[in-house]
Amino acid sequence: MSKVTLEQWRMLHAVVEYGGFAQASSVLHKSQSTISYAVTKLQDQLGVRILEVRGRKAELTEAGKVMLRRSQVLLKESDALEKVAGSLAMGWEGELTLAVEVLFPYNILMSILEDFSQVSRNTRLELVESVLSGTTERVVSGQADLVITGVLPTGFLGEKLLSIRFVPVARFDHPLLQLGRTITEKELKQQRQIVVRDSGMKRSSSAGWLGTEERWTVSNMTTVVRLLEQGLGFAWLPEHYVDTRLKEGSLQVLPLDLKGLRDVPLYLVFPDADNCGPATQALANLIRNQCRQFEEGLNERS
């Protein structure tokens, strides 16, 4: 058991910070004798001389400087612990899991997390990024407090956040882009398609697969883009994900003779809506606000 109390360390810090026992007494609203006794007892308990009084000013010894520096960590941890206890007493969750479909725009997600960090009150956040049924499994199993998904499982309600536009893309010199005309669905299916693997346990589907004769399946969209840039196939990808490459011309949208664009809605789901705490509600509101701003920006540009 510790010999020295946190209150003794706080008094020592006040004496050093404010330059003496009298000054610390005024700030802490304690008698000068109380503070002097507490600091003297601290030194006796530790067996180390921490302060030396020179004139009217108390100064740290070399050993005292080391002890003061180490005790700062102790006081900060104590303050943080008290804040956590206060948050939990108010019903604020200690842990929160957010499951997000990888189609969700990365820049929006980062803005949401940045905003949440300002109000999180020491809540530990686990972010799970998944694909297709891997996301819906989090809803059904209740293994997340909030879920952003493109598929609503049976029996669950979802709040539409935004729509993600998918486009079929390939490298600028892909054979289909050299035809100089629109492409038929039959011609498209004869080419190698690159798809993202379903991250669910059952892996029941692959993102955007058209039933092509040749398919390469990878684990994430970053790998899809790298394969496209090598000219190794085509893929359906969120337009926002390849927007820069489309503007640069390194990737191009394939001209299909069918509707070559398709929109996929993303929903916000509360797996256990009846037991949502204030941290979950706060995060949900931040998600709504950021998605609303994103949609408004799209509408202004269109």
- Tell me how far CA of residue 113 lies from CA of 30, 119, 134, 255, 292, in angstroms: 43, 10, 21, 37, 16
Least-confidence region, from 56-60, 182-186, 228-232, 289-293 = 56-60
Q: Looking at the predicted structure, is the pLDDT value of residue 170 above 50?
A: yes
* pLDDT confidence of residue 201: 46
> What CA–CA distance (Å, rounded) separates 271 from 157?
9
* pLDDT confidence of residue 209: 42
Q: Per-residue DSSP letters for the chain?
A: --SS-HHHHHHHHHHHHHTSHHHHHHHHTS-HHHHHHHHHHHHHHHT---EEEETTEEEE-HHHHHHHHHHHHHHHHHHHHHHHHHHHHTT--SEEEEEEETTS-HHHHHHHHHHHHTT-TT-EEEEEEE-THHHHHHHHHT--SEEEESSPPTT---EEEEEEEEEEEEETT-GGGGS-S-B-HHHHHTSEEEEEEP-SSS---EET----SEEEEESSHHHHHHHHHTT--EEEEEGGGSHHHHHHTSEEE--BSS---EEEEEEEE-TTGGG--HHHHHHHHHHHHHHHHHHHHHHHH-
- pLDDT interval class at 302 (50, 70, 90): low
Residue 214 exposed, middle or buried by CB count within 10 Å (0-12, 13-18, 19+): exposed
- Identify which of 17, 15, 40, 16 has the alpha carbon closest to the alpha carbon of residue 25: 15
- pLDDT interval class at 283 (50, 70, 90): very high
Least-confidence region, from 59-63, 137-141, 168-172, 231-235 = 137-141
CATH number of 95-161+265-301: 3.40.190.10
Q: Looking at the predicted structure, is the pLDDT value of residue 199 above 70?
A: no
Average pLDDT over residues 75-83: 73
Average pLDDT over residues 38-56: 84
Domain boundaries, the chain: 6-89, 95-161+265-301, 163-263
Q: Which CATH class is domain 163-263?
A: alpha beta
* pLDDT confidence of residue 203: 45
* pLDDT confidence of residue 89: 59
**pLDDT, tens digit (0-9, with 9 covering 90-100), for 123-145:** 889 998 887 666 777 777 778 88
Query: What's the mean per-residue pLDDT of the chain?
Result: 83
CATH number of 6-89: 1.10.10.10
**Fold match flag (6-89 vs 163-263):** no
